[in-house]
């Protein structure tokens, strides 16, 4: 029971920090849409088969992507914080580091050396926003978009803008 209450306390702390990213004082913006606390019947159940899921919108600042918000899903495994969360885009986004299923390759989450149990979810959100604002072509999940980004930036920008206009969410 104490392990479960400790996990719930950590989750509440993390959610409070994520909510703080919606303020004007924050350099990275994240709008919390849904959290496991919204559904107490499933939040933090010991032995729960489903992971705790957090939904929220990031507000990138980079050119093109700064015109909309993009919803991400942060899935906390039962072993969190000892195992990193899984992050994916719910909102379709035209980006070299995001695949068709919305999966994203963030170094912080994919390296045993980078992830620590003390890593806050705020750092995860900041890493996702940074990757959207500053694509890493060397770690592209979509080779075709990465090639277009480096060799035909005008066409990439056109397609990315069309995607933002079609799929982007409100920034408030």
pLDDT band at 113 (very low <50, low <70, confident <90, very high): confident
Over residues 71-99, the mean pLDDT reads: 95
pLDDT band at 141 (very low <50, low <70, confident <90, very high): very high
Residue 153, pLDDT above cutoff 90: yes
Q: What is the rounded (10 degree) CA torsion for 140, 141, 142, 145?
A: -30
- Report how far residue 96's alpha carbon sits from residue 94's, in angstroms, rounded to the nearest whole number: 7
Confidence at residue 110, expressed as pLDDT on a 0 to 100 scale: 79
Structure tokens at 168: 């982007």
Is residue 165 part of the annotated active site? The answer reads: no
pLDDT band at 4 (very low <50, low <70, confident <90, very high): low
Predicted structure pTM score = 0.88
The catalytic position among 37, 55, 78, 105 is 105
Over residues 136-163, the mean pLDDT reads: 96
Residue 171, pLDDT above cutoff 80: yes
Residue 123, pLDDT above cutoff 90: yes
């Amino acid at each position: 029971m104490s392990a479960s209450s400790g996990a719930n306390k950590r989750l509440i702390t993390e959610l409070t920090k994520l909510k703080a990213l919606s303020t004007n004082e924050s350099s990275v913006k994240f709008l919390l849409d849904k959290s496991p606390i919204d559904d107490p019947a499933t939040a933090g159940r010991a032995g729960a088969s489903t992971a705790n899921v957090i939904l929220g919108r990031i507000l990138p600042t980079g050119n093109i992507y700064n015109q909309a918000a993009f919803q991400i899903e942060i899935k906390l495994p039962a072993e969190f914080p000892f195992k990193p969360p899984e992050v994916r885009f719910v909102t379709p986004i035209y980006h070299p580091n995001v695949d068709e299923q919305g999966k994203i390759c963030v170094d912080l989450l994919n390296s045993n050396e980078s992830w620590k149990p003390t890593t806050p979810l705020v750092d995860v959100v900041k890493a996702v926003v940074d990757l959207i604002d500053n694509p890493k072509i060397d770690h592209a999940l979509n080779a075709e978009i990465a090639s277009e980004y480096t060799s035909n930036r005008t066409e990439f920008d056109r397609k990315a803008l069309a995607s933002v206009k079609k799929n982007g969410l409100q920034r408030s």
